[in-house]
Amino acid sequence: MIDLDKLLALDKPETKHRMLDYLFDKVDDQLYTENWDPIHTFLKEIDLDKISIQLGVGILSITKPLGRCDSRIHFSSGFRKKITKTESSKRVERLLSGLEEKENKE
């Protein structure tokens, strides 16, 4: 599965393309084999304070096929809180458009 330390080491402007390639390659392999448990674990283990906005958006993009699972909802909610602190509400909505899974308020 994903080596979180390697992913975080690549989470820099100069290596952003390699970071996203690595992320998409590793998660896509898990999605293809329908072995989703490592992805759920990965989503729960990510320290949101250590990731860039680009990495967070990439994670939401590649994990979209998981839909409304608890790990993705939790990640999505935490990521929204993180970026709301530094980005305008308009930018937050643009970044998360079509990617976010929200908790049921029922």
Q: Considering the domain boundaries, does residue 103 fall inside one?
A: no
pTM of the model: 0.90
Which residues, 6 or more positions from 59, have their beta carbon under 8 angstroms from its beta carbon? 23, 43, 46, 51, 75, 79
Q: Considering the domain boundaries, does residue 27 fall inside one?
A: yes
Range of the domain at 27: 4-96
**pLDDT one-digit tens code per residue, 20-77:** 999 999 999 899 998 899 999 999 999 999 999 999 999 999 999 998 899 999 999 9
Structure tokens at 45: 């283990």
Region of residue 42 (phi > 0: left; psi between -120 and 50: alpha; otherwise: beta): alpha
Which residues, 6 or more positions from 69, have their beta carbon under 8 angstroms from its beta carbon? 36, 40, 101
Q: Considering the domain boundaries, does residue 90 fall inside one?
A: yes
Task: Tally the domains of the chain.
Answer: 1
Cβ-based neighbour number of residue 12 at 10 Å: 11
